[in-house]
Structure 1
Amino acid sequence: MKQLFHFLKSNASDVSFGWVLTFLSSFGQTFLISLYVPKIIEKFALTEGSFGGVYAIATIISSVILLSVGHTIDHKSVKKVTAFTLLGLACSTFLLGFSHYHIALLIISLIGLRLCGQGLLSHISLTVMSRHYQRDRGKALSIASLGYAMGEAIFPIGITTLIALYGYEIAARVSSVVIILYLIRLYFIDTSHFDNKASIAQKHSFRVLFSNLKAVIKDKRFLIIMPSSFTLSFTATAVFFYQYVFVQDKGWSAPLYATFFTAYALTRFVMSIFGGLWVDKFSARKLFRFYLIPMALGLLPFAFMEGIIGALLFLLFAGVTTGIAGTVKTAVLAEVYGVEKLGTIRSLFTMFMVLSTALGPLIIGMLIDYGVPFYGLMLFLLGMLVLATLNAQRIKKVAMVVEE
């Protein structure tokens, strides 16, 4: 821990940039959007299943767009890419505040939230931190990833209060103001040292981009790394999207469960720190083989325990996995592929991650409609995590890229 505090003291300004971006990405994350869902369903007279379909469509569209723009962080200035992303996120949250006029506005706002929030802000933050830091990459990524946990701990309280007092429209508009305030602050921040000097002047054609992405997909490393990231996002999003449906089916107390969610955020916060230290000490490749196991184990008490303590155990175990994942998923790409084209490579992996967040709620929602019991859903997700963990063991045969 001493090393982490020393690193933070020397690099507070730089790593805070990554932290703020993951913090603000909360506005496009499922956990925050889910707070609007009951009011949106009521406003448009939708069913849970139909809204899940709308959400899936918006997320899939955003993942495709992400693939075509994610590479810009490799050859455009960090400040310019970040500014456009923040502006897009602010416009999307503002549009959500007027979505009650027509469902088309709702769909457009959801596309923007998923693209700019969960997709691009996370992508920019973790790509820049991983590229800028080599020896201390784990520490930088862990501190940047703390923004996720802080967002989960802070934003739901504020957004829920605003929705209860003034409605979801006002809550969304206030969110856009928060984003605009940081966009103004960004104007005065020097980020030139984050730019990829080797390729900042290059303009990548779609042919070159397609060729690069095709080469990544055909490489065996892709089929070793991608399934773990996909499965984690699929599982976490599916569970958190329907968490209050599950709580209701179990007959558990919703307010008590909401209190337990704070324990999840705290666990994720702590494990984000330790994950970074462990990456620098043991390498991301070693942690990558085992980081899904805690969440897999947590699904068992969640599925089979009658008391709400089962939910607490799941949230604690899930916090361990998601905390470590915030560092490991990006660090392993840098170790295996290098950092020269990390933005392009990571955009491909991020696209599949975002795609999984669309498929998770959609598929689990369909299984719920077909009458699959709760324990059956959890066992299905457990099976996916086990298979992904077994596949991840193949990374032992993949060599690390030696950086100068």
Structure 2
Amino acid sequence: MMAGLRELTAHRYLLGFGFLMVFLSGHGQTFLISLYGGVLRESFDLSHAGFGGLYSLATLMSGVLVIGFGRGIDRFALPLVAGAVVLGAASGGLLLALATASWMLVPALLLLRLCGQGLMVNLAQTTVARGIKYKRGTAISLITMGFPLAEAVMPAAVVALMATLGWRGSWLLLVGLLLLIALPVVLLLLRAERQERAKRLDSPDSVPDEAMNGQPLAVDWRRSEVLRDRRFYQILPALLAPPIVITALFFHQVPIAEGKGWSLALISSAFTAYAITHIVGLLLTGPLIDRLGARRLLGVYLLPMLAALGVLGYAQSAAGAFVYLGLMGLCVGASGTLMGALWPELYGLRHLGGIRAMAHGAMVLGTAAGPVLTGLLFDLGLSVSGLALVMAMYLVIAILLVLPVARPI
């Protein structure tokens, strides 16, 4: 325990870098960009479907491109990659602020989605997974806390900025903050980490470079080898379940609320439970991974979401909304840590950036399809209870597929 605590303390600058990158990824996340949906539709005379189509196109393109660009994390110097990713996100924000035609939204949103939602999180989790071995799960859970912080801080800040500066002015200010504050801090944290690492190498009391739980690291697999490994395809449905299900349910939360007889005010209040349990899930899963290994959690971490779907399908009371979203948050928090720790445990560290990028690309494609398929089911007359049952069946299949990969607890 003390060795793990010393390792986390020794890598405080690396943890700061990872936390900051995850926080900054909020610039490309749906929860922030969606706040600009109304003004962008009005400014460029777009319908709801038109703006949604442009956003989906940019998201799908980013999902494909991140698979290729993710390999750069494995090949180039970390400060160079980190600087390029922050500059890419800033370029997307600048292009959006200066856009004069609707077609310009596509490259702007593409840069924000690719560099923000995609590469920033990939870079943060890959770098921390490589640098911290003994307490890898705890470390990833700590840096992933940057995401709920961004969810809590950025929307309110952006709404205030739009009211004060207008939507274009708000993006210009965000770009300025990225370039003048975030970028220098990112590079300073990486420089401080390099200096600390050099000191540790010269110290007789340096933390040993053992793998998590004292076990040897996995052999370094290449991406082509991973694509031929059946375990990869057994794991994907389980790991992709939380983002796919959550995106579909949140995208259609208005018809879901109407079907359950829940007001939007009630749903908004219930998101407090989601935010709290999201953080709890992050904090609990990290130490469990350090203790048991990520593989052992694969067969059980979806159970809270399965229970949440049961509540969504059958609960009618107002309390049901809080229980439903609370259980969802617990699973999503666990998923954020598990996805960061599993790949190095299975496939090693050398090609980790590229491997994570493949999984992220699959996630983007899945989250893009989820709302469409859910909308089709609603159009066909499926009830909320029926939708919950369909999603629960998917989770059961995903759990059964992943059980042979997960070692029993």
1:234-383 residue pairs with structure 2 within 5 A? 234-244=244-254, 246-247=256-257, 250=260, 252-383=262-393
Partners of 2:196 and 2:228 in 1: CA distance: 30
Question: How far did residue 7 of structure 1 move?
Answer: 5.5
1:115 aligns with 2:114: yes
SS of equivalent residue, structure 2 residue 133: coil
1:159 aligns with 2:158: yes
Question: How far did residue 45 of structure 1 move?
Answer: 4.8
Q: Which residue of 2 aligns with 1:30?
A: 30
Of 33-42 and 176-185, the range deviating more from structure 2: 33-42
Question: How far did residue 257 of structure 1 move?
Answer: 2.8
1:125-274 residue pairs with structure 2 within 5 A? 125-164=124-163, 166-180=165-179, 181-189=181-189, 190=191, 192=194, 212-244=222-254, 246-247=256-257, 250=260, 252-274=262-284
What is the root-mean-square deviation in Å for CA atoms of aligned residues? 2.8
Candidates 392, 399, 408, aligned match of 1:389:
399
Q: Which residue of 2 aligns with 1:21?
A: 21
Residue ranges of structure 1 left out of the alignment (5+ in a row): 196-210, 399-404
Q: Which residue of 2 aligns with 1:90?
A: 90
1:42-61 residue pairs with structure 2 within 5 A? 42-61=42-61
Q: Percent identity?
A: 33
Question: How far did residue 282 of structure 1 move?
Answer: 1.0
When normalised by structure 2's length, the TM-score is: 0.84
Give 1:230's aligned amino acid.
L
Question: How far did residue 230 of structure 1 move?
Answer: 2.1
Give 1:315's aligned amino acid.
L
The answer as to whether partners of 2:304 and 2:327 remain within 8 angstroms in 1 is yes
Question: How far did residue 370 of structure 1 move?
Answer: 4.4
The answer as to whether partners of 2:73 and 2:81 remain within 8 angstroms in 1 is yes
Q: 1:215 to 1:9 in 2, by over 3 A?
A: closer
Larger radius of gyration: 2
Partners of 1:351 and 1:315 in 2: CA distance: 26
Partners of 2:293 and 2:364 in 1: CA distance: 25
Partners of 1:48 and 1:3 in 2: CA distance: 54
SS of equivalent residue, structure 1 residue 35: helix
CA deviations 1:229-274 (Å, max 9, x no partner) are 2222211222223334534565544344333323322221122111
Partners of 2:376 and 2:54 in 1: CA distance: 14
The answer as to whether partners of 2:27 and 2:112 remain within 8 angstroms in 1 is yes
CA deviations 1:137-183 (Å, max 9, x no partner) are 11111111111111122212222333455544333333323322201
Q: 1:241 to 1:83 in 2, by over 3 A?
A: farther
The answer as to whether partners of 2:10 and 2:196 remain within 8 angstroms in 1 is no
Give 2:340's aligned amino acid.
T
SS of equivalent residue, structure 2 residue 301: coil
Q: 1:231 to 1:184 in 2, by over 3 A?
A: same
Give 1:293's aligned amino acid.
L
SS of equivalent residue, structure 1 residue 396: coil
Partners of 1:45 and 1:278 in 2: CA distance: 50
Q: 1:155 to 1:302 in 2, by over 3 A?
A: farther
SS of equivalent residue, structure 1 residue 301: helix
Partners of 2:76 and 2:104 in 1: CA distance: 30
Partners of 2:169 and 2:261 in 1: CA distance: 32
Partners of 2:196 and 2:122 in 1: CA distance: 14
Partners of 1:134 and 1:68 in 2: CA distance: 26
The answer as to whether partners of 1:132 and 1:194 remain within 8 angstroms in 2 is no
Question: How far did residue 30 of structure 1 move?
Answer: 2.1
Partners of 1:266 and 1:8 in 2: CA distance: 24
Of 108-117 and 245-254, the range deviating more from structure 2: 245-254
The answer as to whether partners of 1:55 and 1:110 remain within 8 angstroms in 2 is yes
The answer as to whether partners of 1:4 and 1:139 remain within 8 angstroms in 2 is no
Q: Which residue of 1 aligns with 2:213?
A: none
Give 2:127's aligned amino acid.
V
Give 1:280's aligned amino acid.
D
Question: How far did residue 276 of structure 1 move?
Answer: 0.6
Partners of 2:304 and 2:389 in 1: CA distance: 15
Partners of 2:407 and 2:279 in 1: CA distance: 31
Q: Which residue of 2 aligns with 1:105?
A: 104
SS of equivalent residue, structure 2 residue 70: helix
When normalised by structure 1's length, the TM-score is: 0.85
SS of equivalent residue, structure 2 residue 406: helix
Partners of 1:172 and 1:15 in 2: CA distance: 28
Of 263-272 and 116-125, the range deviating more from structure 2: 263-272
Q: 1:67 to 1:302 in 2, by over 3 A?
A: same
Partners of 2:42 and 2:379 in 1: CA distance: 19
State the aligned residue count: 382
Question: How far did residue 327 of structure 1 move?
Answer: 1.5
Question: How far did residue 341 of structure 1 move?
Answer: 1.4
